[in-house]
Amino acid sequence: MDSLMERVIALQDATPVFIALFDTNDRLRHANRAFREAFNLASDAFPMWGDILRANYVDRKGLIITTTDYEAWFLSAQSRRGKLPFRGLELDLHDGRWIWMTETVQDDGWMLCVGSDITALRQNQRSLRQDRDIAQRAAQTDELTGTANRRFVFANLDAQMEKVQKGAEGPFGLCVIDIDFFKAINDRFGHQGGDTVLRDFVKIAHSTIRRADCFGRVGGEEFMLIMPRTALADCAGMVERLLEKVRASCPFPGATDFSYSCSAGLSLYQPGETASDLYQRADRALYAAKQNGRARVEWL
């Protein structure tokens, strides 16, 4: 067995195909030589996915990231990563190569990334495919906050329901979150101030949730969080941590007296429920949180 593994590792380092494995926390756990060279990684480095991209952006090596606002770009990319069992995407590298990368997510949340060099494709094909990818990202992203939009989140909910109903995964949690007294925020700071609070909340949420979780804006100041393979107590704990971070946030440096809060309604999938049933139950729990004083999470 040891000799077989040694042969597999040697072949991985010899192949021009990019191979990498990330754990549930999105830390690199294994990468072959081709992947490390493409993303400018030392042989003994095992960073987080976000740190790889940030270093590429700052050093202008590895992956080309075309943006004037890295944080907003990363938040948008993070909102889609690892939310589907399989997806493919195209990447441009600073050395001129064009890569087709696939992401395969196991049931336990680990992700296998495999990439191939497709630079030889004709330029007109490349332009068409890039235009398609831009349109697809726009269709899945909330324009104001950069997080996933209603369409993407509800599609993820349907996919999660299907996996559970087929027995491929255990129960999951659904949380509906609403920013408290949002109209008063708009009245005090104007709509631009309200937009700042929405973006602040999204940034906090993405710093709190796991890669496997799906989070997005479903309308106005309302957001939805899907937590796969998670017991009710763990779901509640995660949401409590999120609400605590929000209460401690200061989105307006010139208004240190200002703080805001969120209310949340949580429900755990029950056999036989439809997506609509589950969402409505979480929405009723949100209403209970509002009635019981806000800035809290309730579950039904």
Active site residues: 221
Positive or negative torsion for Cα 215, 284, 237, 294: positive
Contact 116, 17 (CB under 8 A): yes
CA distances (Å), origin 258, targets 2, 197, 206, 253, 268: 60, 11, 22, 9, 34
The C-alpha atoms of residue 98 and residue 120 are separated, in whole angstroms, by 8
**Tokens at 71, concatenated:** 């944080």
Look at residues 232, 215, 234 and name the one whose alpha carbon lies nearest to residue 224. Answer: 215
> What contacts 82, CB < 8 A, 6 or more positions away?
26, 103, 105, 109, 111, 211, 212
Q: Which amino acid is at 134?
A: I
* Residue 114 burial by Cβ neighbours in a 10 Å radius (0-12, 13-18, 19+): middle
Helix count and strand count (H, E) for the chain: 9, 10
Look at residues 139, 163, 160 and name the one whose alpha carbon lies nearest to residue 151. Answer: 139
